[in-house]
Amino acid sequence: MIEFLYILFALVVVITFHEFAHAYVAYLLGDPTAKKHGRVTLNPLVHLDPLGTILIFLAGIGWGKPVPVNRAYFKRPVAYEALVALAGPMMNLLIAVVVLVPLKYFGNYLNYELAMLLATIFDISILLFAFNMLPFPPLDGSKFVQLLVPRRFQHHYQFYLANASLYFLAFLIFDNFLLAKYFGFSVLSLLIGWIVVGVKTVLFLGG
């Protein structure tokens, strides 16, 4: 039970800061849409998606309410939209770095409960970073990747961003209910695992 509470608290914190980062960076870059919707705040009730919140309590997983962004306000729509998308995962990475400091350098002085809570926040922050950096709509990585797409192909990529979410959902179902269940293999878990291991290796070896 106590482990579930750690996970629940960590998810609420990580998701709230993730969505806040999207909203705040969009506002800084000239888009007032998220601010008008009250999303430039650290109030978790504003950022938690109803279905995602229910699943946090039922399954220990969840997601935040997407931040509304209107790229028409941006002076450089492609670049600024990519920066707004990147803000969420980078906030998760920042949280991981912040909680790693006491774990790495003062771990022997922390009580067990605090150490477990910080470790849970660290793990979930890295996991959410890894998941969101995958280049599949509607994940943040798909919007960041558009920086690498040549201008002449941008309209094709915008079509991909607008229409590929259903294909990604189909892939998730296929990956989770067919590959993982019947073959014991998950492509998504493998991709996320590579990113998680890479990020943790860099963070633990650095400093």
Q: What residues are annotated to the active site?
A: 19
In sequence order, the 6+-apart residues with CB closer than 8 A to the CB of 207 are: 104
Under the phi-then-psi rule, with left for phi > 0, alpha for psi from -120 to 50, and beta for the rest, what region is 134? beta
> Residue type at 69?
V
* Burial of 204 from C-beta contacts in 10 A (0-12 / 13-18 / 19+): exposed
Instruction: Report phi then psi at 170, rounded to 5.
Output: -65, -40
Residue 46: count of CB within 10 angstroms of its CB? 17
CB 68 within 8 A of CB 38: no
> Residue type at 68?
P
